[in-house]
């Protein structure tokens, strides 16, 4: 799996640039003078360019994400084991008698209980 952090960082950097240009336009426009409003309107192409760069960065990030996903449906499933349950190592019965349980150590008892084992009298 690829590291997508550089692509995500590019998206964040482009978003920061958009916000910086937008803030500059806002400051100039809010000053109120006609001269500042004209300067703010002159910055509109810079804002459009920053937004276009942000859209390109987002599209690249999404493409890289999509490229990393498995495209084969079968890859999303866990393969079925060919080993029968009775053949597994350390297999223990799920129900034992009280006398067998009492002969176990505390660790063995804990493992037995955690593996959904039950004791019958």
Query: d(Cα 25, Cα 12) in Å, to the nearest integer?
Result: 20
Domain spans in the chain, listed from the N-terminal domain onward: 5-70, 94-120
Query: Which pLDDT value is given to residue 11?
Result: 92
Query: Which pLDDT value is given to residue 54?
Result: 95
Query: Which pLDDT value is given to residue 92?
Result: 65
Query: Which pLDDT value is given to residue 86?
Result: 57
**Ranges in the chain, pLDDT < 50:** none
Query: Which pLDDT value is given to residue 51?
Result: 93
Give pTM, 2 decimals.
0.54
């Amino acid at each position: 799996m690829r590291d997508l952090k550089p692509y995500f960082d590019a998206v964040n950097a482009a978003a920061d640039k958009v916000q910086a240009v937008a803030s500059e336009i806002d400051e100039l426009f809010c000053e109120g003078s006609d001269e500042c409003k004209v300067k703010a309107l002159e910055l509109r192409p810079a804002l459009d360019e920053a937004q276009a760069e942000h859209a390109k960065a987002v599209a690249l990030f999404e493409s890289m994400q999509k490229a990393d996903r498995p495209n084969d449906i079968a890859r999303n499933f866990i393969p079925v084991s060919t080993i029968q349950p009775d053949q597994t190592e350390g297999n223990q019965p799920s129900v034992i008698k009280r006398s067998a349980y009492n002969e176990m150590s505390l660790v063995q008892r804990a493992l037995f209980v955690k593996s959904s084992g039950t004791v019958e009298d």
